[in-house]
A and B are shown apart, each in its own frame.
Chain A
Amino acid sequence: MTSEAATPTALSIDEDTVLAQIAATLRELPDAGLEDAEISRETLFHDDLELESIDLVTLAGLLREQYGERVNLALFIADLELDEIIALTVGRLADYVTASLRATEEN
């Protein structure tokens, strides 16, 4: 999932666009109160957005609706250690989504 793996074709998937899409999805999370939240790559999922682990599961469902089977965030979350979940940033989620989209585009 590193950028070195990206081919010219894969570059058509723009990291900034993915980040913006995820930020928009987070702002629309039901009852999360994030309508006006500033969301950047460095934004911490838990400490900055005050979202809970169960919100990650909700987000996984929403991203699946948005991107289809190509993006399986639940699988990504299931592979995280406790310390990684504590330190999870929106950027890391965006990287995973971008990499997933590129991987399917290459195939």
Chain B
Amino acid sequence: MSRFLLVAPPLTGHINPLVAVAAELTARGHQVEWCGYADRIRDAAGPTAVVHECALPEAGELLRPPTLTGPAAFRFLWEAFFIPLAEAMAPAVASAVHAFRPDAAVTDQHAVAGALVCERLGVPYLTSASTSAELIDPLADLPKVAAWLTGRLDALREAIGDPAATHDPRFSPYGVLAFTGRELLGDAAALPWERVHLVGPAIADRPGDPDFPWDALDPSRELVFVSLGTANTDAGARFLHEAAGALELLADRVQGVVADPGGQLTDPPPGILVRPYVPQLELLGRARAVVSHGGHNTVCEALWHGLPLVVAPIRDDQPIVARQVAEAGAGIRVRFGRVDAPKLAEALRTVLDDTGGHRTAAAAIGRSLRVAGGRQAAADHLEQLVTAHPAAAAGR
């Protein structure tokens, strides 16, 4: 039996893969505790999860105006969220390590406090990469932007890490658990493959929705699932209206189910099912195509089910994920801020038309994601990490 500490930011998409890994580790008899934000973690992992609670940064959770996109969103994300988040989380990570004495840790790639405190205290740790975007060196063409980020990470390391360390704290020298697949990354990725483990999505059992009106689904039409994820509720009003319009244009052959947690679709066209929360995995099991903002988890879950996508990225890693989907042939990228109902309907028609090959490509990626090992492979790598560093916990 080993003890594993999981360090996660207050972002659902980053927590979800770790929930599946935690369940796997627990099932194997290991002890798992979390460091992060109990409300968010228990929503996903259940009420019994042990959480070493972190303070939130002064600015609170990640809130950005809908118009903040592109490089300005990147600057905000690091300067105003991830860096202050690391400073706020660091004391709790240190006390969690002292109290729990983990044999190893899994630290989210963007909860940088996990990596930096673990390196300072000598805890072996794997990075949890919840998106494929960081793996392709997205700033390779923008060296001054990369230097800007490195400067901030270096300053953070001075404050909460081991100043003698030199590696990028987003990539643990012990290894990276990347919840994605080679087929999605494409050929562009030049990775230190010996320590980057592409384990595919780690999908946890999620609470179902006993109230979902399954009877309202029309078996004679193709089900299209529309979701902008959990972190973009206020940015999506215009797009969701255009999406509803597209679904209406295709109403003779398509039935839309729209996840609308922000209640943006106040007057949806008839025949479209709009729900604040949806049983996503069950829906994907019945769907024929997905319209998504390009959140990595939703994209991988769609591909897992062999579903082609229309991807409308908003910001952050989403444009990269969208490009990866398009280049893999499994979907079409549209512009979140510009696409209108007729263009969206045309994109949907294209991916739903099986002669176009999008479904075939999606199914191929889905098969490879299923054999990548997911939660079991992640747990295997963590057990091997402890075996390779058996005395790690003794000195603390």
Contact = CB atoms under 8 A, between A and B. Distances in A.
Interface size class of B (residues with CB under 8 A): 20 to 34
Given A54-B320, A79-B144, A33 B71 contact: no
B336 interface: yes
B338 A50 contact: yes
B70 A50 contact: yes
Contacts of B320: 54
A31 B333 contact: yes
A78 B142 contact: yes
Interface string B115-145: 0000000000000000000000010011111
A81 B145 contact: yes
B323 interface: yes
Given A50-B69, A50-B70, A82-B75, A33 B144 contact: no
A57 to B, nearest CB: 5
Interface in B286-318: 313
A21 interface: no
Contacts of A51: 70
Contacts of B367: none
A70 B332 CA distance: 33
Interface string B50-71: 0000000000000000010111
Contact of B336 (A50, A77, A80): A50
Given A50-B70, A50-B338, A82 B141 contact: no
B283 interface: no
A46 B144 contact: no
B276 interface: no
B72 interface: yes
A31 B71 CA distance: 20
B319 interface: yes
Contact of A86 (B71, B138, B143, B338): B71
B343 interface: yes
A66 interface: no
B69 A46 contact: yes
Contact of A82 (B145, B313, B319, B335): B145
Interface string B315-352: 00001100100000000111111110001000000000
Most buried by B among A32, A53, A82, A85: A82
Interface in A77-99: 77-83, 85-86
A53 B71 contact: yes
Given A33-B335, A33-B338, 5 more contacts: A33-B339, A50-B336, A52-B70, A54-B323, A77-B141
Interface of B: 67, 69-72, 74-75, 138, 141-145, 148, 313, 319-320, 323, 332-339, 343
List 4 tightest A-B contacts by C-beta distance, closest first: A46-B70, A33-B338, A52-B319, A33-B335
